[in-house]
Structures are given as structure tokens and as C-alpha cells.
Amino acid sequence: MEEEIDWDQEAENWTKWARTPGHDAYWYYRDRFFDEIVPPAGRCTVELGCGEGRVVRDLQKRGHRVVAIDRSRRLLRYAKESDPDGLYLIANAARLPLTDASCDLVVAYNSLMDVADLPTTVSEAARILEPGGRICVCVTHPLSNAGNFVNSESGSAFHISETYFGRRNFEGTFERDGLTMTFRGWSMALEDYTRTFEGAGLLLEALREPQPSDTTARFAAWHRMPMFLTMRLVKP
Ligand SMILES: C[S@@+](CC[C@H](N)C(=O)[O-])C[C@H]1O[C@@H](n2cnc3c(N)ncnc32)[C@H](O)[C@@H]1O
């Protein structure tokens, strides 16, 4: 079994990165996720890999009652500090401390490419969903994970130097406007995700390759290439 990624190490960096207004790409992609992928609030929403809690807070604003899961103690401390009444549980998403059919929505926002055991994590998500329940997913787009833009020009070519296929480790440190963040995770092909969902008995209901809401030069290249892939799956 692959090793879990230790997000405790990056907890401070991630919290600053995620909370600085306009800094992370989330600010420019979240609306399409909430508007086109996430269904209206039902009885219970579970977020897998909540980190410092920004998605939980955005779900709550839309009326969701959320149970949030993460395996990073430090990130959960930040999440709880900013939402003292919220329900945050420390757990591995591959072994959820929740009973069968206990929720009607699972959200996994940029966390499935971080978990060590994707098939077990997705099966666990399916187990805790009631029949007819949905899982809403955002991952970094498998194509954008496969290579890099050659330069920072808006019309830059995109170069895939190795392969699009197969599960591969990625690690990259980014510095912008005085903030630094090291991202680690696994890159996979689209087929790896859809085969995993098939294996858990989930049916694909919607898939989007959103473009960012920002139209300035900063995101120009991302109007030509998808940065994220979002999906909604249903448990029959
Ligand atoms: C990129 S962060 C995303 C956090 C949050 N969803 C957001 O978008 O702000 C990925 C999160 O997944 C969590 N994570 C990774 N593997 C996990 C696992 N096996 N079980 C539970 N949480 C996990 C990490 O601790 C981290 O907080």
C-alpha cells in the first residue's frame, strides 16, 4: 500500500494559501462547482479531506449540514477554530467512522488525488451514501497533471514529457506573492477515476471541465487547458 501524504507538514502554508483572498485557484473555480455539480442541501453532507475548512464553510452558506473528515490534526484545528460549532472528525477517508447510508451527499474537493488508497476511499464514500445519494468530486485535471506549460506566455505550448497514463507521484513547490506551498499527490488518467467509480457501483451523472471566472492574464492559459475536472456520481 502507498504511504499517505502528511498534510500536517504543510498545514500552516496551506491555511495561508487557501485563506488569502484571491490567491488560490479555488476562488475562480468554486462557483461552477457549487452551481453545476453540488445538489441542493439535503439531510447530511460529508466532506472527505476538508483541510482548513473552506469548502465546509461554503457548503454551510448554501444550507448544508456538514460532517467534515480529514486525517491532518493540524488542519482540523484550523478548521475548528474558524467554525467552532462545526463537526470535524479526524479519520482516514478509507476507514470512515460513519454508518452505512448515513448521508445523502459526499463532497471530495481536491482530495481524491491525495489519498493513498483511492478504491477503498471511493467504496467507503459509496457505503455511507443512501441509495440515490450523490458524490461530488473535484480533482486536478488528469491532462494538466501530465505535463507543463513550456513558458508563462498566455499562448504557451503544453508539453507532456512522460506519459498521461498510469498512477504517478507528483510533487511541486509554488511561490507567489510571498506565499509558498508544496503540493504532493498522485496523478492518474481519467479512466483510472471512472474505473474506480464503476468498481464502487457509482454512475456518472455530470462531468465538467470548468474554465476560471478570472479573465485576466494570470489565468489566460487556463482558458485553453482545463486545470480541474469536476464530476457528480450517483449511487443507484
Ligand atoms: C488539497 S487539500 C484540500 C482541502 C479542502 N478540500 C479544500 O479544498 O480546501 C487535501 C486534503 O485531503 C486530506 N487527506 C489526504 N489524504 C487523506 C485521507 N486518506 N483521509 C482523510 N483526509 C485526507 C489532507 O489532509 C488535506 O487536508
Model pTM above 0.95: yes
Per the rule left: phi > 0, alpha: psi between -120 and 50, beta: everything else, 83 is: beta
Is the minimum distance from the CB of 109 to ligand 1 under 6 angstroms? yes
Is the minimum distance from the CB of 110 to ligand 1 under 6 angstroms? yes
- Structural domains in the chain, CATH included, are 7-142+190-234 (3.40.50.150)
Contact assessment for residue 45 and residue 103, using Cβ atoms and an 8 Å cutoff:
yes
Residue 1 has pLDDT above 80, yes or no: no
Is the minimum distance from the CB of 71 to ligand 1 under 6 angstroms? yes
Contact assessment for residue 49 and residue 60, using Cβ atoms and an 8 Å cutoff:
no
What pLDDT, in 10s, does the model give residues 128-157? 999 999 999 999 999 999 999 999 898 999
Nearest CA to ligand 1 atom 8: 109
Side chain identity at 206, as an amino acid letter?
A: A
What pLDDT, in 10s, does the model give residues 69-124? 999 999 999 999 999 999 999 999 999 999 999 999 999 999 999 999 999 999 99
- Which H or E element spans position 120? helix 118-128
Query: How many helices, marked H, and strands, marked E, lie in the chain?
Result: 7, 11
CA distances from 35 to 29, 78, 208, 223 (A): 10, 27, 11, 19
Question: pLDDT category, 3, cuts 50, 70, 90?
Answer: confident
Question: b/e per residue, 62-78, with b = 16+ CB within 10 A?
Answer: eebebbbbbbbebbbeb
pLDDT at 2: 80
Burial of 147 (0-12, 13-18, 19+ CB in 10 A): middle
The three cell numbers locating residue 11: 498545514
Residue 8 dihedral angles phi and psi, to the nearest 5°: -55, -40
Is the minimum distance from the CB of 111 to ligand 1 under 6 angstroms? yes
pLDDT at 177: 96
Task: For ligand 1, pick from 2, 5, 7 the residue to mutate: most ligand atoms within 8 Å of CB.
Answer: 7
| Residue whose C-alpha is closest to residue 141's, from 110, 184, 173 | 110
The three cell numbers locating residue 78: 484550523
What pLDDT, in 10s, does the model give residues 171-209? 999 999 999 999 999 999 999 999 999 999 999 999 999
